[in-house]
Structure 1
Amino acid sequence: MKETVFRSEDLPVTDRFTRWRDMACQAHVPTMVRSEHEKDFRATLRVLRLGTIQMSSLTHPSLRVERTRKGIRQSDPGTYCLALPLRGTLRFAQSGREAECGPQDLMFYETSRPFHGRIAPRDGGDVSHMVVQISRDALPQSSAELGRLAAVRLPAREGIGALLSNHLRETARQAGDLTPAEAARLSSLTLDLLGALCAHHLHAEPGAGLGPEARRQVLRAQIRDFIQRRLGDSSLTADVIASAHHISTRYLYTLFDDQDLGVAGWIRRQRLERSRRDLGDPHLRSRPIHSIAARWGFPDSAHFSRIFRAAYGTSPRDYRNSVQYDDGCA
């Protein structure tokens, strides 16, 4: 996956705001940007090209943005953008509507219509957010339908909004390890989830406008989200998962047939990854290994040790010690 990372602190203080603004406009769309912190602008920009879509992660102080008709005439990629605030709030106005969004929300806007907005922290510090850019013809809804969602707060605390929000966060976190083939599949899944989100908020069925394979991918993403939120439950079984989604256990298995590991293997890998992450966390060094294993659905510590070694080529204890050694800790 192609990735670009920019840090303003790598530049002289006098160049930081101008260079970051230019990079942000180049990555997204030409926009007028103003900030009270231009004299010493500390910000980052990470751009990921995920198949047919682009995902950006930004951190910066408070700022104002405006896209004018003149700017649109000069340059317009004709894209839709989905904003996901991670820290701070986004107040945005377009097409006669205005919305304020926070970390539990999503919001669409269009590059072909004027807009203005302010992004600011709630309690001081920087703001952080993600922006996903999608071409006009990538979603199943019409331009008129999608226009109805511009500058509208789309809750992401539960349902399809939470599913998409979690998917975007996790994709950004793992982007550096993705192969081109995985990036292409995630691009397709992201578009399916976006289409389902739009359908939901346009008062249609979540699968409306999606083909059979797209509906399968959306259902599979919903199941993965369900599993992720219950990884610590050692009683999580295929029957439980299937029942919660009103499908047969046999159909659940077919949904994961092309995922190499199958549903049980996928659950095991997610639990192992969470366990490995905790074992490498310096804040959890005092927590016993068996406690970490049990936290992620492995109540039998001997069994956990065996499958951890099979997956990573080392024991949980040796892995924890090696991470501490690398960090310069005794």
Structure 2
Amino acid sequence: MIGTVFRSDEVPVEHRFDYWRELTHRAIAPSEMSSEFADDFWARQRLLELGPLMVWPTAHLPTGFRRTEKLVRQADPEMYHLSLVLGGGLGFEHVGRAEVYGPSDLWVSDTSRPYDVHPPADLGREVITGVGVDFPKALLPLPPARIGQLLGRRLSGREGVGALLTGFLTGLEQQADSLQPSDAPRLGTVLIDLLSAWFAQVLEAEDALPPETRQRALMTRVRAFIRQNLHDPELTPPVIAAAHHISLSYLHRLFQEDSPGETVAAWIRVQRLEGARRDLADPNLGSTPVHTIATRWGLVRASDFTRAFRGAYGVSPTEYRAQARSVDAEPSPLWTRS
């Protein structure tokens, strides 16, 4: 597991808001925080340290955050802050801009400038959910003047690299319990590459990114595209290359440089087999025929699927399903090999 988790239910009710406020102050730039529900507060938050980046998935009752000129003078960590709204709504005022944000909206702020975050007046006791990211300005390979064009703007996490960034951030919390501390630096590198690629896309400044950043961000997009299209039996390296406007040879080189010895086709096969393995172990899919599950993962030839499955996990799909039912437990290390 990576990160630490705060649950307000574990704190006496009269101390919950103050405890959460102090926790938040230690994690990000200090701000004045207030809530009309402070006397009966509820919040859940995980703090994930990914190298120099801090990611904090959170759910809480409506709260206001106000960073004043005085607080900026007292402490400025020289960070950019990204907020992704997942549920509820928030108003945000920064660098002379005022916007209202809803689900899948993002904003960027600068800890060196005042800001005011406030819930809509009609939100009531609705829980606000989202993900915050704080990272040093020096990590971005784009000049501050260009980033300044994004501050306080309502940006979309619904398409392009913004959607990929949204998926990565939400996936971090979903997988946090299975990730190890040794994974954190690598995840931090992936995240800063995604942030850089997203900023560059929004600013139409992709050429300003270092080649290695563009390449790593492209590799992340390629793998996400493959995962989203595993059901398609026509998903092949030429199709993937065409979808990303790159040559087939460059696609193969990307995989070789990212994971030496790994081919595009082999990675696709591993992802499909692992998806089928999970479905075969799912008791909710116990009545679904094996060939139907295989087809859902783009494995349309039954004999090829059975042979590949046995080669990867040591048993046939039918045998694996029977064993998973009989032990009613997690698969053995042999079965989860990838």
Asked if TM exceeds 0.5, the reply is yes
Which residue is equivalent to 1:263?
264
Partner of 2:239: 240
Moved more, 171-180 or 237-246: 171-180
Aligned pairs for 1:95-114 within 5 A: 95-114=95-114
Q: Which residue pairs with 1:317 in the alignment? A: 321
Shift in Å, 1:228 = 2.1
Counting only pairs closer than 5 Å after superposition, residues 6-45 of structure 1 correspond to structure 2 as 6-45=6-45
Check conservation: 2:142, 2:209, Cα contact below 8 A. Answer: no
How far residue 27 of structure 1 moved from its aligned partner, in angstroms, is 1.2
Deviations 1:281-328 (A, max 9, x none): 5654554444333222223455445544555566541465268568xx
The 1:246–1:119 alpha-carbon spacing in structure 2 relative to 1, beyond 3 Å, is same
Gapped runs of 5+ residues in structure 2? 331-338
Secondary structure of residue in 1 paired with 2:207: coil
Question: Aligned-pair distance for 1:234?
Answer: 1.7
CA drift at 1:164 = 1.6
Determine the C-alpha separation between the residues in 2 that align with 1:88 and 1:291. Answer: 38
Q: Which amino acid aligns with 1:84?
A: L
Question: 1:37 & 1:293 partners in 2: Cα distance?
Answer: 50
- What is residue 160 of structure 2 aligned with on the other side? 159
Contact 1:309 1:316 in 2 (8 A): no
State how far apart, in whole Å, the 1-side matches of 2:105 and 2:216 are: 23
Q: CA deviation at 1:280?
A: 5.3
Moved more, 155-164 or 183-192: 183-192
Aligned AA (1:317): R
Q: Are the equivalent residues in 2 in contact too, given 1:9–1:42 (CA < 8 A)?
A: yes
Q: Which residue of 2 aligns with 1:226?
A: 225
How far apart, in 1, do the equivalents of 2:237 and 2:47 lie? 37
Following the alignment from structure 1 to structure 2, what is the Cα–Cα distance between the partners of residues 81 and 319?
48
Partner of 1:199: 200
Q: In structure 2, give the amino acid aligned to 1:241.
A: I
What do residues 229-258 of structure 1 show as CA deviations (whole Å, max 9, x unaligned)?
Answer: 211112211111112222222211111113
Question: TM-score, normalised on structure 2?
Answer: 0.85
Report the Cα offset of residue 183 of structure 1.
3.0
Please, what TM-score do these two structures have when normalized by structure 1?
0.87
Secondary structure of residue in 2 paired with 1:297 = coil
- Give a deviation string over 1:38-92, Cα, whole Å, max 9, x none: 2222211101111221111101112211111222222221110111112222321
Q: Which residue in 2 is equivalent to 1:56?
A: 56
- Work out the CA distance in 1 between the residues paired with 2:274 and 2:128: 29
Q: Secondary structure at the match of 2:29?
A: coil
Does residue 130 (structure 1) correspond to residue 131 (structure 2)? The answer is yes
Q: Secondary structure at the match of 1:226?
A: helix
- State, as a whole percentage, how many aligned pairs show the same letter: 42
- SS for the counterpart of 1:208 is helix
Are the counterparts in 2 of residues 24 and 45 from structure 1 also a CA contact under 8 Å?
A: no
Contact 1:32 1:65 in 2 (8 A): yes
Contact 1:279–1:319 under 8 Å retained in 2? no
The 10-residue stretch of structure 1 (295-304 or 8-17) with the greater mean CA deviation from structure 2: 295-304
The runs of at least 4 aligned residues of structure 1 exceeding 6 Å deviation read 120-124
Using the TM superposition, give the Cα deviation of residue 175 of structure 1 relative to its aligned residue in structure 2, in angstroms: 3.7
Q: Deviations over 1:161-199 (max 9, x none)?
A: 112222222334334444556432332222122112212
Stretches of structure 1 that go unaligned for 5 or more consecutive residues are none
Q: Is the Cα contact below 8 Å between 2:89 and 2:102 reproduced in 1?
A: yes
* Residue number in structure 2 paired with 1:89: 89
Q: Which moved more, 1:114-123 or 1:156-165?
A: 114-123
1:97 to partner: Cα distance = 0.4
Does the CA contact (< 8 Å) of 1:253 and 1:262 recur in 2? yes
2:335 aligned partner: none
Q: What is the RMSD computed on CA atoms of the aligned residues?
A: 2.7
- 1:185 corresponds to: 186
Secondary structure of 2:298's counterpart equals coil
Q: Equivalent residues in 2 for 1:139-178 (5 A)?
A: 139-178=140-179
Partner residue in 2 for 1:212: 211
1:83–1:130 Cα contact (<8 Å) kept: yes
* SS of match in other structure, 1:151: coil
- Tell me the distance in 1 between the aligned counterparts of 2:282 and 2:259: 29
